[in-house]
């Protein structure tokens, strides 16, 4: 049930998400979670109207 609530309350379902496949020419799915991705996500979270 928690998984369903998380999906229903996600940025994607609200229409406020952005999918980024590359940063500086590097494919994100090959790199995996890293500090660069985390910092980008945190920066975007700081701007609720973006």
Q: Please name the residues in contact with 36: beta carbons below 8 A apart, sequence gap of 6 or more.
A: 23
pLDDT at 27 over 80: yes
* Res. 1 pLDDT band, cuts 50 70 90: very low
Buried b (16+ CB within 10 A) or exposed e, 10-49: eeeeeeeeeeeeeeeeeebeeeeeeeeeeeeeeeeeeeee
| Average pLDDT, integer, range 1-20 | 68
**Secondary element (H or E) of residue 22:** strand 22-23
């Amino acid at each position: 049930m928690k998984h369903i609530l998380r999906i229903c309350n996600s940025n994607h379902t609200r229409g406020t998400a952005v999918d980024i496949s590359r940063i500086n020419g590097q494919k994100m799915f090959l790199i995996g979670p890293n500090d660069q991705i985390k910092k980008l996500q945190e920066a975007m979270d700081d701007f609720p109207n973006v």
